[in-house]
Structure 1
Amino acid sequence: MPIESLARSDVVTAHEDESVQELATRMDESHVGSVVITDGDEPIGIVTDRDLATRVLGDGMDPAETTASDVMSDNITTVDQTAGFYEATELMSEHGIRRLPVCDDSNELVGIITADDLNELLADEHLQLSDVIQAQRPEY
């Protein structure tokens, strides 16, 4: 199954010159734990709620004066929209990340997939398998 069918298309994005205070507000309002930083439609970085806690608060930075470019992870790992579930999980594991922006063949952002999304998918698959096993179980 291509990752594009699993990914969320409503990605929260921002520009690198926006303050982390604005990013935190946007995360809160959108109920997400990350903001993908873009240049046009191309992802160039990501800021997570953990980045805000460790890089901003932990280092005593002023949230109103600190910008996304000051704290974003700019060695961003992305996955092609045609990649499969296993490729996405391998990328997350190899790079130690929980959020993976999904891009098209022009490297434009088309979605995002998270570890929580993948866990939810696996839980649903396990439930369906359990239902099949229960339906085929002989009665004694």
Structure 2
Amino acid sequence: MSTVPVAVGPQTSVVEVARRMREEDIGAVLVTDGGRLRGLVTDRDLVVRVLAEGGDVGERTVHQACSEELVSVGPDDAAEDAVRLMRRRTVRRLPVVEDGRAVGIVSLGDLAAEGDPGSALGEISTAAPNR
């Protein structure tokens, strides 16, 4: 789990979110409002929900790109529970939420690196960024 997730407000520009993803070398950003988790936006969301739609990307906000149906786990939930939830909901990342506030993000890669570090996904997930 990443324990210092990047969070932005719902009115943040998608261009700013993409820049943050590039700078932080991450694929997901939390969307919070008043400290409360409101959504999650991924690099794929930006492509599918913003770029593919065309128009003036500079005018679009993260609220328009983030996943509306938020699925999360708690910090004490077992890794197996996270895997089952990811399978059932077909998601690759889950916010880790405690008392309505995000405390991290767990990804499919995190789980592979922990549970099967010798697997292709485990090795890819722990490799240095490809820049």
- Give yes or no for the alignment of 1:103 onto 2:97: yes
Report how far residue 43 of structure 1 moved: 1.3
Q: Residue 62 of structure 1: CA displacement? A: 2.0
Q: Distance in 2 between matches of 1:84 and 1:34?
A: 22
Count of paired positions: 119
5+ residue gaps, structure 1? 1-6, 127-140
TM-score, structure 1 length as denominator?
Answer: 0.80
Partner of residue 46 from structure 2, selected from 52, 57, 70? 52
Counterpart of 1:120 in structure 2 is 113
Deviation at 1:18, TM superposition (A): 0.4
C-alpha RMSD over aligned residues: 1.4
Q: Give, as a single letter, the amino acid of the residue that structure 1 aligns with 2:109.
A: D
* Contact 1:17-1:67 at 8 Å conserved across structures: yes
AA in 2 matched with 1:55: R
Q: Map 1:1-140 onto structure 2 (within 5 A).
A: 7-104=1-98, 106-124=99-117
Counterpart AA for 1:24: A
The structure with more radius of gyration: 1
Give unpaired runs (5+ residues) of structure 2.
120-131
Structure with more relative contact order (C-alpha pairs < 8 Å, separation 6 or more): 1
Determine the C-alpha separation between the residues in 2 that align with 1:52 and 1:125. 31
